[in-house]
Each structure stands twice: as structure tokens, then as C-alpha cells.
Amino acid sequence: MSTTKKRPVARRQERGAPAQSMQPFQFSGRTQLLLGLLAAAAAVVAGLLYLIPMEATAGAFGFPSDDSYISLTFAKNLREFGSYSYFQNAMVTSGSSSPLYVFLLALIGLVTSHGVGAAALVGVAAFAIAAWLLFRLALQLFAEEQWLALVTVALFVLFPRLQAAAVSGTAAMVYTALTLASAYAYFTRRTVLFFVFAGLALWARPDALVFILAALLHLLYHHLVVPTDRSAPQDDGTRATRQRAARIGGIIFLALVGGYAAFNLVLSGTVLPNAVGAKLAYYHDLTPPPFLASVFSVFSSAGGAVLVVFMGIGLLDTLAAFARRKPAPMLMATFIAIGTVTAYGLLLPFLFDDARVLVPVFPFALLLGVHGVRRIAAWLRQLLPIPAMRGIGQGLSYAVFAGVVILHLADWSGTRAAYFRAVRYVEDRHIAAARWIRNTTPADAVVATNVVGAMGYYGQRQLIDMTGVVTPAMIPSIGNLAHLEAYVKGMKTTYIATLRERMEIANSNPVFTSDMRTPEVMEVFSYAPGRTHIMAQRASALNQQAAKYMASKLDGDALPLLQQSYQLDPNSARTCTLLGVALLNLRDTTRAVEALQKALRLHPDYAPAMVPLADVLTVSGEYITALSLLRRAIGLAPNSQIARTSLERTVRRHYEDSLAAKGYARMRLQN
């Protein structure tokens, strides 16, 4: 391979010094082109290895997250009704955090009606473009050791988590490609394109505010803080050209930012999509898991288990250069990584949906990791004066990169299998409920739900989003149960569809339910004002924890949780039933009966309360009332083996006692 012609040294150097090189090496221009195309092609193949066998393996062609269908719903309505709306043209709102992605899907929808397939292919295409851009960016950052650019893009394309993200149906990979395009334009001094792609990135995700700030800090640092290289030739014509490009780019950027703010203001009255405010409000009072530990777990998955240490080294080396006012080519990547993690840690410390919010950080984290390996190799070269020993650093770098690749490949099958399981999960719950709504309910039905993605795309009914993402009027009601119930009632709701573990409905029987034997249950209820009860989220969580204790025969541990739940929300038939069962198991029959009777007053058709109450009545000899309850319970829940067992036991006891009573009566007559 021939060596490319070197570009003039920048006035303020932002590249690593050649003296610290692992092994000077540069690709020819033609080789760079071929390798970039090869990286893009490898990304396409990686994506297709998910898409092609998906239907046969998962039993459906879809996405692993309900949120993936939100942008698809907006795009479908934009295409069919000409309205940026979540239901025909009647729910205009900035409920998608990525309007650019919505516009792109709507445009593709003019060619094909297969929205899910189109979204998947957009993700694969974005993955390929991101791979090509990362390779080109790494060529700039590792100008003296360009083979490291090939290593970086290989680690990117082979990372199983990124492959899954590419076909997740979200804007994550589109946003990643735009930030890489902006960063590449910056390092190649294409000022106008830098600003254009940065502005478009904001239209793809509000996270771009972190990227823009990181890029501007990198720029200001290297132009105002790092000492000027006065030996570099001055060219007033070049300076004037760059200043003009900066003005043009700045104007375009401000126009894109202003247009973005105006778009959201017109639709929802906020400068950011109302989805942002909804998520902040919804998760505000929830206790997150240890956030930094979760972040570390994400970046140390697969081959990251080896590379994550070197990511830290690369980051610390960059911060050390920053503190010494030295050139720091990885400063932008460092600010992006630290800024994104800090922003989410402070505002939204939940890594839901397989931590997709961190996907755009991965390419910059990989650059830091490769830089960390590079610095360790350079330090070893300096520490080992014997020429024969200096190859240890180079050998270490080869071993690290090989180890990362091997772990990536070893994790590929498990990650893909988990992806297919998640697709099946959404199909069996969210999509199944949405199709039931579409096929069973009247066209003018109003459905309140806490999972709006597939419900909007497949359900084709007007929705009330109880999490506020596509119903901004709901945001003030988040965390206020009375306001929530008043709003749902005021909107003339006819059905409620919820994922039970996230929002539980009490005092009504579902008209649709997913498989009760699997974790998390999707339910649809006919809404009856004054009777259908939305449980307080904290009370529902306490019930779930108590139910786990009771399943393990730890009723003593469950009881205080249920008493606390009852104090929070005393109008739930389920809470009263669980409390009654726990008290029965603890032999407090009197209070148990009171709790079970209250459950049936709140919900007269609640089979789970009928069975334990009938068991108590059987013990006390009230067979007729017990049999009546059990037969009603079986009529309401025909598949309940517990109810059938109780009925058989009660019938047997009643028969035996009747025989005994008749025998005693006959003996008295004979005497």
C-alpha cells in the first residue's frame, strides 16, 4: 500500500504527536475508499443477519420496543392525512423526539406501505453510513497510524449491541450517523457541513444539544487555550474563506435550531418535543437503579469487557492534556461521553429499552478506547529502552484488539437471540392488544393507555396517553391520581389498555389479556366511570413485591407491604384480596374475611377474592354460600385450576357433612 500525501499541519495542532506513534502507517487514497466501502457493506450484512431470519425465528417481523412504533405512527398519519398527528388528523402533537426521522419515514412511505420494513432498512442504512463516517473520522484522528481507523470501525460494526440498535426501529442510528458526519466535517474543516449536520442532529434527537456543546468547547479550547503554532504559514485568504464559511454555517445552524423550536412550540407549546417533558415528569418520582453501574455494564458488554479499561485511559489521557493546555484531539469525544452520561444521570437516570440512549456515544467511546491502547503502547515504547523489548507495546495492542473482536463474536448469538425474544414479547402483548382493539371496538372508541407505540400504529383508535408522550395535556396529571382519573373520565374514555406491571387497573375484569403465565401482562378493560380504578403506582409496586414474598411462603414479610399499599390506595380490590390471603395464611381469619368482603364490595365480579373467601366459608360450614361463590368464580375464570380444586373440596365436604347429618338424624329417629 502506498503512502498518502500528507496535508499541511493545522495552525493549532489537534492530532497526536508522531513521536508517540505505535507504528507509523498510512493507507493510499484508493485503499481508504475501498476499506470505507467494505466497512459500510459489513454493517449492511450485520443488519440483514437480524432482519432476514427474524420472522422465522421470532414468529413476527417487528421491533423489540413499543416506543419504536411511535415515530412510525406519526409518519403514517403524516403520509395518509397530511397531519403531524397521532390519530388521523385529530391528535396534532410533537410527541416524537425525532421529527426528522418521522419525515424520513413518511417520505419513504410514498414508495412502500410496509412501514416496519422501511424503518428497519433505514436503520441498517444509517448503520452503514455511520460505519463509513467513523472510518473517515478515525483516519483524521489517527493520521500517523491509520490502521487504527480500520480497527475502530471493525469494533463498531462487530459490536452486537450496536447491530441490534441498528434494526430497533428508533432514530438512534440516524442520530449517530449525523453526529459522526458533523464531527468528520469539523476535523476536515468543512465548516458549513459541520453546522448543517449539527443542526440536523438536533432534529433527530434533543441529545444533540450535548454534542453541539461538546463540539463548540473543543473548538474554543483549540483556538483560544492551546498555544498558537507561530511557525505555521499564515494565509489571510484562507482565513477569510473560513470566516465566511463559519458565518454561512452559523446562519444555517441558527435557522435549523429556530425552526426546530418553532415546530415544537406550534405543536405542543414547548421548545423541545413534549415527549421530553413527559418522560422527565413520568420518571421523576421513581427510584432509579445505580446509574453509573448501569452505564459501566452497558459499555463493558461483549468486547467492551476488555476495551472499557482503555476507554478510561483514553479519557484520562485527554483530560490530562486538557489540564496542561496541550493539543487534545479526543477532547470532543471525551466531552460527548462525559456530557451525555452526566445529562442523563442528572435528568433521566434510567437506561430503558436496552440503553438505546447511549448508542450514539459508542463510536466516540470506541475512539477513546483505541486511543487508550495507543497511549499504553507509546508509554511502553518509552519505558523500555531496549529495542527488542519495544515490540511488547505493539503486541499488547494486537492482543487487546483481537480479544475485543473475539468477545464481540462470542456475544453475537446471545444478543441476537435476546433481540428476537424482545420482538416476540412486543408482538404477544402490545401488538396483540392493539389488533384486538382495532378488530373489536367501535371506530369512535377512545382508548386510554400507558403504552402508545403499537397501540397507535396497529390499534387505529383515538388514544389518551397516560404517560403524556403524545398527550401533552396529561403531563400535569402525572403523579396525581385524582387528576389522571378526572382527565380520563372527562375525555369520555371507553377502554383502558395497560401493561399491568407499569400501571395497574383495579375493580374491573379485563376484556382482553395476554398470557398470564409470562412476566408482564397486557390488559384491556371496558372503562366504567366511578368503578374502573387506576391504582396508585407506588401501591401497585408494593403489591407486586408482596406477591413475590407470598409465592415464596413469606407472608409475614408481605403483610407490612400490603398494609402500606392499602394505606396509599384503599380502593383496590386486588390489594384487599392480597391482604386477605396473607392474613389467612397467618391465621388471622377475622381480618382476612373483612378484607376479602371489601374486595367484593369494590369489585363484585372479582374471582380471585371469591375463592379464598369461599374456602373460609367452607371451613365454617357455610357450604351453600361457598358453592355459589366458587361457581361464579369458575364462570368468570374458566381456566382457574385453583377455583376448580376449591369447588371439588367444598362439594366433597358438603356431601360428607350431609351424609353425617343424615346418619345422625336417622339414629335419633331409631332411638
Q: Residue 480 burial by CB count (10 A; 0-12/13-18/19+): exposed, middle or buried?
A: exposed
Provide the pLDDT confidence category of residue 73 given band limits of 50, 70 and 90.
very high
Where is pLDDT greater, at 447 or 278? 447
448, β-bridge pairs: 464, 496
Residue 339: in which H helix or E strand, if any? helix 331-347
C-alpha cell at 329: 484531539
What is the model's pLDDT at position 6? Answer: 42
Q: β-pairing, 505-506 with 462-465?
A: unpaired
Provide the pLDDT confidence category of residue 574 given band limits of 50, 70 and 90.
very high
Q: Inform me whether the pLDDT recorded for 3 exceeds 60.
A: no
Provide the pLDDT confidence category of residue 537 given band limits of 50, 70 and 90.
confident
Q: What is the dihedral of CA 351, 356, 362, 364, to 10 degrees?
A: -90
Where is pLDDT greater, at 671 or 424? 424
With helix as H, strand as E and coil as C, how does 611-647 read?
HHHHHHHHHCCCHHHHHHHHHHHHHHCCCCHHHHHHH
What Cα–Cα distance (Å) separates residue 626 from each residue in 151, 158, 507, 603? 72, 63, 21, 17
659: Cβ contacts below 8 Å, ≥ 6 apart: none
Q: What is the pLDDT of residues 601-648, one digit of tens each?
A: 999 999 999 999 999 998 888 888 889 888 998 998 888 888 888 888
Q: What is the pLDDT of residues 277-306, one digit of tens each?
A: 888 888 877 777 889 999 999 999 999 999
C-alpha cell at 330: 479526543
Q: Any idea what DSSP says for residue 25?
A: B
**Section 364-386 average pLDDT:** 88
- Residue 164 in contact with residue 186, Cβ under 8 Å? no
**Section 448-476 average pLDDT:** 92
Provide the pLDDT confidence category of residue 25 given band limits of 50, 70 and 90.
confident
Q: How many other CB atoms are there within 10 angstroms of residue 294's CB atom?
A: 16
C-alpha cell at 666: 336417622
pTM for the whole thing?
A: 0.87
C-alpha cell at 368: 477513546
What is the model's pLDDT at position 231? Answer: 53
What is the model's pLDDT at position 156? Answer: 97
Provide the pLDDT confidence category of residue 174 given band limits of 50, 70 and 90.
very high
Across the chain, how many H-helices and E-strands are there? 28, 7
Q: What is the pLDDT of residues 291-350, one digit of tens each?
A: 999 999 999 999 999 999 999 999 999 999 999 999 999 999 999 999 999 999 999 888
What is the model's pLDDT at position 11? Answer: 40
- Which range among 7-16, 259-268, 455-464 shows the weakest confidence by mean pLDDT? 7-16
Where is pLDDT greater, at 371 or 228? 371
What is the model's pLDDT at position 22? Answer: 57
d(CA 106, CA 274): 20
What is the model's pLDDT at position 389? Answer: 60
Query: For the CA atoms of the chain, what is the radius of gyration?
Result: 31
What is the model's pLDDT at position 565? Answer: 93
Q: Inform me whether the pLDDT recorded for 147 exceeds 50.
A: yes
Residue 70: in which H helix or E strand, if any? helix 68-81
What is the model's pLDDT at position 660? Answer: 61
**Section 244-267 average pLDDT:** 94
Minimal CA–CA distance to 428: which of 298, 515, 540, 541? 515
Q: Inform me whether the pLDDT recorded for 500 exceeds 80.
A: yes
Compute the C-alpha angle 128/129/132, nearest 5°. 90
What is the model's pLDDT at position 233? Answer: 55
Q: Inform me whether the pLDDT recorded for 489 exceeds 70.
A: yes
Q: Could you tell me the end-to-end alpha-carbon distance of the chain, in angstroms, rounded to an integer?
A: 117
Minimal CA–CA distance to 564: which of 590, 588, 545? 545
- The alpha carbon of residue 237 and the mean position of all alpha carbons in its chain are separated, in whole angstroms, by 49
Q: Inform me whether the pLDDT recorded for 12 exceeds 50.
A: no
What is the model's pLDDT at position 65? Answer: 93
Compute the mean pLDDT over every residue in the chain, rounded to the nearest whole number. Answer: 89
**Section 387-413 average pLDDT:** 87
Per cent of the chain over pLDDT 90 is 64
Provide the pLDDT confidence category of residue 238 given band limits of 50, 70 and 90.
low
Where is pLDDT greater, at 280 or 390? 280
C-alpha cell at 64: 423489540
**Section 374-394 average pLDDT:** 77
Where is pLDDT greater, at 383 or 401? 401
What is the model's pLDDT at position 17? Answer: 42
Q: What is the pLDDT of residues 542-562, one digit of tens each?
A: 898 899 899 999 999 999 999
What is the model's pLDDT at position 9? Answer: 38
